[in-house]
Structure 1
Amino acid sequence: MHQRKYALELISDLGLGSSKPMSTPVESNLKLTTLEFDDLFGDESDSLLLDPGEYQRLVGRLYLILTRPDLSYAVQSLSQFMQAPKVSHMNAAIRVVKYVKQSPGFGILLTTQSTESLQAYCDADWGSCINSRRSITGYLIKYGDSPIYWKSKKQSTISKSSAEAEYRSLPPLLQRLLGLLILMRQEPENLL
């Protein structure tokens, strides 16, 4: 399952047809900040976008690429700056589109072989949001070999250690997993 046509339209609409594709959706160790954070620490190298609507539309279109689990973290990070986007935020969003250009037909494979097993994975990046010092959690749930649920989300509280951040990532995943197990019991044909 993929959205190749939609991805190609997005690349074309932004005029990135002749641009070089990127190998990763986010630059390594990139920390996007708010304008208030920059003012507090005296960094005036970045400015607000003149038209925030352009950024908001682009990030909104990235949300529509639902078949790309590899974009989950990038879109989650970019969506935090919808109210007051800066030039660096727009550059990061354009990088995501250039990454999509590398493989526009990339998606998820839903296998036909039915194995009734759920596998769940989660991870947390302790204190990775420099604006709020909150941890970022990532989830993936697979039914057999097919991914059926994924999410990247900032945790609601600040963790004092990486172990605490990891433990805080478990309850939402377990809640979603329990909901899927109940759904499998009641309506197994509607799981996918």
Structure 2
Amino acid sequence: MTTSCSLRGNDYFLFIKRQQGKIALLLVYVDDLVITGDINELITELKKMLNSYFKMKDLGELKYFLGIEVLKSKEGILLNQRKYALQLIKDTGLEEAKSTTTLLEQILKLTTLDYDKIVQQDNEDEYNLVEKSAYQRLIGRLIYLTYTRLDITYAVNFLSEFMQQPKRSHIEAALRVVKYVKKEPGQGILLKSSSSCQISAYCDLDWGSCPMTRKSVTSFCIKIGDSLVSWKSNK
């Protein structure tokens, strides 16, 4: 490595190498690596340097990484989790179920068990608890699906509030999200090749929407050009 280049970590998993105005990026997860950059010579040099320290296997052009499929075209790069979504549908036994076009029923008011007792609801079905670990696993898998599915972010964040005492209504709502995903399992995020570098951000607020705490729900998304790069929904 010459004095004109450096390998620095901006995060625990992302390293950046700059040399004579060019750049190479190294993304690390356990024993998996993704290397990219704006010039092939710098990428090749980085591979050789890493291979001199430990044994590496070059799998070629990136197509699949951590459950995320990478598809390239003239329009840009499409990131989706189709294979992951189909496996989720299979594991939940919803392969033959009819898909839905909406995430949550508009009239559905999900609450915690403690709140139900406070307001003295008489619906006995609401007090039927389901296996907590099964509900937590399902929500965890849906959370990972939000990495490329902006459209389910709010619903998954909302359902994650009930992981300590999940009821039958909660698991039914979570399975409805899976049915929604089934409608278009390959939907993802397109990082456009023609995007500008202009950053734009949008946010929305549902004031006092939580019936239990009266807290607000805030959501935002950030775009670079026409490409969506960050989003979140939380109470």
Q: d(CA) in 1 for partners of 2:130 and 2:103?
A: 24
Q: d(CA) in 2 for partners of 1:38 and 1:89?
A: 13
Q: Who wins on radius of gyration, i.e. which is larger?
A: 2
| Runs (5+) with no aligned partner, structure 2 | 1-78
Contact 1:48 1:84 in 2 (8 A): no
Aligned length: 154
**Residue equivalent to 1:13:** 91
Contact 1:25 1:74 in 2 (8 A): yes
Matched, 1:126 2:126: no
**Residue equivalent to 1:47:** 127
Cα RMSD after superposing both structures: 1.0
SS in 1 for 2:191: coil
| Runs (5+) with no aligned partner, structure 1 | 155-192
Q: d(CA) in 2 for partners of 1:20 and 1:119?
A: 37
TM-score, with structure 2 as normaliser: 0.64
Residues 101-121 of structure 1: CA deviation (Å, up to 9, x unaligned): 000001111101130101100
Aligned-pair identity in percent equals: 53
Letter aligned with residue 67 of structure 1: T
Q: CA deviation at 1:49?
A: 2.3
**Residue equivalent to 1:31:** 109
Q: d(CA) in 1 for partners of 2:84 and 2:114?
A: 35
**Residue equivalent to 2:223:** 142
Higher relative contact order (CA 8 A, sep 6+): 1
Structure with more helix by fraction: 1
Residues 127-167 of structure 1: CA deviation (Å, up to 9, x unaligned): 1111100010110101111100100010xxxxxxxxxxxxx
Contact 1:120 1:141 in 2 (8 A): yes
Structure with more strand by fraction: 2
